[in-house]
Amino acid sequence: MRATNPMNLRVATFGAVSCAMISSAFLAPGQVVNPGAPGIGQPGGPISGVSSIELGMFNRGRAIFDRDFHASTGLGAPEINADSCRGCHQDPVLGGSGALELNVSRFGSDNGGMGPFTNLEGGQSLSKLHPPFVALREECPPEADVFEQRQTPAIFGLGLVSEIADIDILANEDPTDADGDGVFGVARRVDVNGTIEIGKFGWKAQLPLISDFARDAMLGEMGITTPNDHRGLTALTDADGVVDPELSRRDFEDLKMFMKLLGPPIRTGSTAPEVAAGELLFEQVGCAVCHVPSLPGPAGPVNLYSNLLLHDVMPTDFRGMSEPGAEVGLYRTAPLWGIGDTAPFMHDGRAEDLDGAIRSHFSEGDAARVSYEGLSPTEQADLIAFLEDL
Ligand code: HEC
Ligand code: HEC
């Protein structure tokens, strides 16, 4: 696991952690780390072809992503996992992934592992922190007997992902395993005001739009309310006495634009023979069945290495969260672009390194894992070298 940047983080405990015992990191109030946005083509910079108006929005949106919120600007109600987006998405640059101790936590009940999974009062999200200025504290009910950690993924290139057409995602579905390869694959269907949309974002592909995630993260991680978009997916008010929406429409539009224009991870372009050999092996052992190298986008192929479908690659005794359209064990094929920078791996950070991530594939991932385990150590190293180059 990579060390977190000590400049960006200061560990503090604000009141006791509720039922999931997890530590957390918190930024010192007023600490602003905004050394100026990276340029086009640099890690954390915008995609190429942005207009000057868009660039202005990108830079303002980036500053909001980097902003420390306070009680006076609506922080906490009492949901609070951090005081800025940067607090978790920071490695190796703003918008990146987060270390294990920044994981967020979910809870529910699965009847001691016997099932079925049920949501308990308060929903699944468990706030880790209780800021001293908020009297209430979210606790999970005593019936909670299943917890799930979620790793902070990098958000690079999400604008390109958002432009992938539903039809190109649905084309790879195989809900009955008609081709008999042991791999299924279903798209996440999300009910938005009675209309079914295809979910693309989050470990369970739980949200269709980037803006849905921006609102969800503002409220769920920081207790900041956002302007009404009439999609009905997030609460519009909270309980902290600050006038809602706590984020202005202009700020919200800028934040959305930052996320939409944030460039994809940049490949090193290595011509090393082991990288080329690893790419062939990636296909041969069946990784590419789920981690499809590219999906079509309006401006050309999007090289995300995911089919954006849900698969079960968890061990059979896995216990975790269930949502309508994404049962226990089902996760979105994790995109592999930029994977060299985002350890630890899998939704809950169960794998320390890439070799461990591959060895953590079970169920639908059994065949690929077994093939990988059958490779020689050199071949395995080649495959990892290829992944690190993405
Ligand atoms: C406490 C840590 C934390 C903070 C703070 C945080 N995030 Fe996240 N972010 C996560 C985690 C964990 C996930 C994965 C959640 C899931 O899928 O269950 C995530 C996922 C995302 C995704 C989806 C990425 C993808 O590949 O689908 C977006 C977009 C995002 N966050 C944006 C934001 C924005 C915008 C903010 C600030 C308003 C923010 N996050 C603040 C931890 C955090
Ligand atoms: C059956 C579909 C499937 C196959 C085949 C498959 N994967 Fe995955 N992979 C997934 C899913 C789903 C996840 C997300 C698991 C989770 O969220 O815990 C994942 C996660 C990963 C991760 C962790 C990503 C992250 O951001 O933490 C890596 C690395 C990875 N896969 C590499 C591989 C490689 C290499 C192969 C071939 C040996 C492979 N996978 C085969 C579906 C698959």
* Range with lowest mean pLDDT among 226-240, 274-288, 369-383: 226-240
Mean pLDDT of the chain, nearest integer: 87
pLDDT at position 26: 43
Burial status of residue 31 (CB atoms within 10 A of its CB: 0-12, 13-18, 19 or more): middle
pLDDT at position 355: 98
118 close to 108: Cβ distance less than 8 angstroms? yes
Q: Taking 50 as the threshold, does the pLDDT of residue 7 lie above it?
A: no
Name the maximum alpha-carbon separation found in the chain: 62
Per-residue pLDDT averaged across 177-196, rounded? 96
Ligand 1 in contact with 155 (CB < 6 A)?
Answer: yes
Instruction: Give the integer Cα–Cα distance in Å for 62 and 257.
Output: 9
pLDDT at position 22: 34
79 close to 124: Cβ distance less than 8 angstroms? no
Ligand closest to 219 (CA) is 1
Residue located nearest, by CA, to atom 34 of ligand 2 = 287
Q: CA 354: distance to chain centroid?
A: 17
Q: Taking the alpha carbons of 376, 377, 383, 385 in that order, is the dihedral positive or negative? A: negative
Count the alpha carbons within 13 Å of 187 in the hemisphere toward its beta carbon: 19
Per-residue pLDDT averaged across 213-230, rounded? 94
Per-residue pLDDT averaged across 155-177, rounded? 97
Q: Taking 70 as the threshold, does the pLDDT of residue 21 lie above it?
A: no
Q: Taking 70 as the threshold, does the pLDDT of residue 11 lie above it?
A: no
Residue listed under structure tokens 């190429």: 48
Q: Taking 60 as the threshold, does the pLDDT of residue 258 lie above it?
A: yes
The type of residue at 278 is: G
Residue located nearest, by CA, to atom 38 of ligand 1 = 218
Tens-place pLDDT, residues 343-381: 999 999 999 999 999 999 999 999 999 999 999 999 999
Ligand 1 in contact with 88 (CB < 6 A)?
Answer: yes
Confidence class for position 9, pLDDT limits 50, 70, 90: very low
pLDDT at position 15: 28
Ligand closest to 360 (CA) is 2
Instruction: Give the integer Cα–Cα distance in Å for 295 and 300.
Output: 9
Pocket test for ligand 2, best of 331, 333, 345 (most atoms within 8 A of CB): 333
Instruction: Give the integer Cα–Cα distance in Å for 65 and 93.
Output: 12
Tens-place pLDDT, residues 289-313: 999 999 999 999 999 999 999 999 9
pLDDT at position 277: 98
Instruction: Give the integer Cα–Cα distance in Å for 330 and 323.
Output: 10
Pocket test for ligand 2, best of 283, 290, 323 (most atoms within 8 A of CB): 290
pLDDT at position 33: 42
Instruction: Give the integer Cα–Cα distance in Å for 286 and 59.
Output: 40
Q: List ligand 2's pocket residues with C-beta within 6 A.
A: 183, 203, 285-287, 289-291, 311, 313, 331, 333-334, 336, 339, 342, 345-347, 354, 357-358, 361, 364-365, 368, 372, 387
Q: Taking the alpha carbons of 202, 206, 207, 212 in that order, is the dihedral positive or negative? A: negative
Pocket test for ligand 2, best of 309, 327, 346, 352 (most atoms within 8 A of CB): 346
Task: Measure Cα distances from 107 to 64, 132, 380 in Å.
Answer: 29, 23, 36
- Looking from the CA of residue 255, the nearest atom of ligand 1 is 35
Ligand 1 in contact with 304 (CB < 6 A)?
Answer: no
Confidence class for position 14, pLDDT limits 50, 70, 90: very low
pLDDT at position 79: 67
302 close to 159: Cβ distance less than 8 angstroms? no
Tens-place pLDDT, residues 52-103: 999 999 999 999 999 999 988 988 865 688 899 999 999 999 999 998 888 8
Residue listed under structure tokens 């060895």: 359
pLDDT at position 130: 54
Instruction: Name the percent of the chain lying above pLDDT 70.
Output: 87
pLDDT at position 198: 98
Instruction: Give the integer Cα–Cα distance in Å for 66 and 96.
Output: 12
Residue located nearest, by CA, to atom 13 of ligand 1 = 152
